[in-house]
Amino acid sequence: MQVEASVSMATEQWFKLLQDAKKTAIIQDGNRKVHFLFENGKEFVEEYNLDTNVVVRRAWRKKGDLGQDLGWEVEIGDPEPNINAIDKLETAGIRESSSNPIVSRRITKTGLEWRIRNLNYPVDVYSVTAEDDGTITVRTSNKKYYKKLTVPDLERVGLRPEQDRLSFKHQYNTLIITYKKPPKLIELEKKIFEMVSKLKVNKDGDVQCPTK
Amino acid sequence: MSITASKVHEVREITRIERIGAHSHIRGLGLNDSLEARNVSQGMVGQFRARRATGVILEMIKEGKIAGRAVLLAGQPGTGKTAIAMGLAQSLGSDTPFTLMAGSEIYSLEMSKTEALTQAIRKSIGIRIKEESEIIEGEVVEIQIDRPVTGVGAKIGKLTLKTTEMETIYDLGNKMIDCLMKEKVQAGDVITIDKATGKISKLGRSFTRARDYDATGPQTRFVQCPEGELQKRKEVVHTVTLHEIDVINSRTHGFLALFSGDTGEIKPEVREQINMKVSEWREEGKADIVPGVLFIDEVHMLDIECFSFLNRALENEMAPVVIMATNRGITKIRGTSYKSPHGIPIDLLDRMIIVPTVPYQEAELKEILKIRCEEEDCEMSSDALLVLTRIANETSLRYAIQLITTSSLICRRNKTTEVSVDDVKRAYSLFLDENRSSQFLKEYQDDFMFYENEEHAMETN
């Protein structure tokens, strides 16, 4: 019963945060793009595919503690191409080699998906487990790769990942992990989509989102 | 918090070729624990009272409670005012901001005088703040560095790190390669790298390598290979100045930044916002204020507007301790036709404590010249040093110091290792000091252009 209560509490909180945020919406390139500005100054962007109504991209604007702009952190979708990669190698002096595994996230109608590219070990090497700390952990028996994947979608509804909903497969050097969405999450997503789809849509063009 | 602070307080800079400046021999104020000045210490000689006074001020700055005090170092040219300020900067350590500027630096076409002064003041206030930063922690599996065949150009490097669970390959930039080489990082070491700043620290050697029979010193520390992911988020403490925060927040965002670049002037609203934010952080216990020192050399070059601005600025509770130095007597205040001691208005003088420096004694001059000889890597015979001391006494200390390297170059031409009296004499005859030069001008002024009696001369012609 208590778990039930905390779940609905967390759901309410996240929904209210989105509801209170200043929202700007446009339709561009076949996507409905929504920009949220929260009361605490954080910025957040979601993009929905017009045909499937599924989130294809979700990103947070990162700010440093001193107020410096750190660019966008992509939660769902392909990571931003890093134009300053060479520059960064000069200033910081270190960068992951491009041959290292890269994680990217996707959402489908029924599941949350992770794709880890550049992993060329056979399928029996991997183990993917739901952990008590709220992460999904990927391990390799040859000790080459290890990653704790956080699941912000589940955190927002106050749930922890469950092993039964987890599955993975390996093809084309890519490990694909799928987590079947729990009903609570589907419900929340539906509610959010309803809210978003009711927003007044700006014409495609030069739209300025509020940043302060 | 202080533990983390000292832990993160890392290696400052990598090997830099140091050039020898006028004050590079100074390493501190040369005081003992009871703030008594030692005779010759840390490159400082004589000036006991001024050094002692500065020591007291140092204590005040270290305590950090008193804001906006002004100190004036007054004395004849070449009596060690700048040296004392340098010594103070050295003994404050790297964590306390110390801004050094000359009075004439504020005159620029790009920003107003008061903006330059405000920036200088804000550069002298440090904020110690906790920030989350990404840290890579792992055991080195392999370092591979490729140098170009020609010997010049960028080096390319790859570093493989591992934990008990995983392994990752990193590309290395030039700076990082130098750092790794300087730290003598090799396979089997456990290291951490701060991803934002690129700072490396060596934690020790991995236990798995404990049986290697290579040259491990007795102080080698063995540590466990880290677990889990290579990249971790850690809270680190570092000091930034108020001015740096201003700059970060004042850059125009978006494509406009391409055209404007760094803003010369920072809007007062931005500063106000930052001040608010900083006091917020202070209340939350997220940040501490580290008041530093602003040193204005040749302060008589400031004009009346700047002085009145300083008057006001010193009253701010965020103001640093301002130390000024001047070698002027009673002279005109710049921008007015009024005369005042040191060329500084009386009301500002009244807010200052004044530390006088006095001319050096002959014995002290000798010590200073000896230190400079060492600093400039020049072996000098004791006779030559005596001659040089006499020159310093009769002309000036600065001129005598100029003769050190010149005479050592003359001596090297003569294939001898030790500078002799003759070498010094030779240098003395080759290069005029200020006195002899004026003498010469007075004697032969008729032959020069634009001399004072020119009109008179033309008439006679």
Closest CA to B186 of B218, B167, B161: B161
Euclidean distance between CA atoms B170 and B224, whole angstroms: 22
Read off the tokens for B151.
């010997």
pLDDT tens digits, B356-377: 999 998 899 999 999 999 888 8
Distance from CA of A22 to the nearest CA of B (A): 20
Residues 6+ positions from B232 with CB-CB distance below 8 Å: B134, B135, B136, B137
Strand order through the sheet with A166-171: A102-107, A111-117, A174-180, A166-171
A62 in contact with chain B, both atoms CB, cutoff 8 A: no
Q: Give me the helices (H) in chain A, please.
A: 2-20, 85-91, 152-156, 183-197
Read off the tokens for A19.
């509801």
Q: How would you class B37 by CB atoms within 10 Å of its CB: exposed for 0-12, middle for 13-18, buried for 19 or more? A: buried
Euclidean distance between CA atoms A165 and A31, whole angstroms: 29
B245 contacts in chain A (CB < 8 Å): 66-67
pLDDT tens digits, A127-142: 999 988 888 999 999 8
Contact B229 A147 (CB under 8 A): yes
Answer whether 0.80 is exceeded by the pTM. no
Closest CA to B166 of B107, B229, B235: B229
Contact A144 B240 (CB under 8 A): no
B21 in contact with chain A, both atoms CB, cutoff 8 A: no
**ipTM (interface pTM):** 0.79
Contact A96 B170 (CB under 8 A): yes
B145 in contact with chain A, both atoms CB, cutoff 8 A: no
H or E segment and range at residue A170: strand A166-171
Contact B131 A64 (CB under 8 A): yes
| Contact yes or no for A13/A6 (Cβ under 8 A) | no
Closest CA to B344 of B358, B319, B325: B325
- pLDDT at residue A45 in the model: 87
Euclidean distance between CA atoms B371 and B124, whole angstroms: 31
- Three-state DSSP at A44 gives strand
| Contact yes or no for B141/B160 (Cβ under 8 A) | yes
- CA-nearest residue to A208 within chain B is B254
- pLDDT at residue B431 in the model: 92
Closest CA to A105 of A176, A160, A41: A176
- Residue range B434-455: mean pLDDT, rounded: 79
A140 in contact with chain B, both atoms CB, cutoff 8 A: yes
Euclidean distance between CA atoms B99 and B116, whole angstroms: 12
Q: How many CA atoms lie within 13 A of B209 on its CB side?
A: 20
Tell me the pLDDT of chain B averaged across its residues: 83
- Calculate the alpha carbon distances from B34 to A15, B55, B92 in Å: 65, 9, 17
H or E segment and range at residue B194: strand B189-194
- Residue range B49-60: mean pLDDT, rounded: 90
Euclidean distance between CA atoms A183 and A154, whole angstroms: 11
B328 in contact with chain A, both atoms CB, cutoff 8 A: no
Read off the tokens for B35.
């703030």
Amino acid letter, B135: I
Contact A92 B132 (CB under 8 A): no
Predicted confidence band at A91 (pLDDT cuts at 50, 70, 90)?
A: low
Contact A143 B167 (CB under 8 A): yes
| Contact yes or no for B79/B276 (Cβ under 8 A) | no
B180 in contact with chain A, both atoms CB, cutoff 8 A: no
How many residues are present in chain A?
A: 212
Predicted confidence band at B232 (pLDDT cuts at 50, 70, 90)?
A: confident
- pLDDT at residue B323 in the model: 92
Contact B167 A97 (CB under 8 A): no
- pLDDT at residue B74 in the model: 92
* Best residue of B11, B160, B170, B227 to probe chain A, by most A CBs closer than 10 Å: B170
Taking the alpha carbons of B202, B206, B210, B214 in that order, is the dihedral positive or negative?
negative
- pLDDT at residue B80 in the model: 87
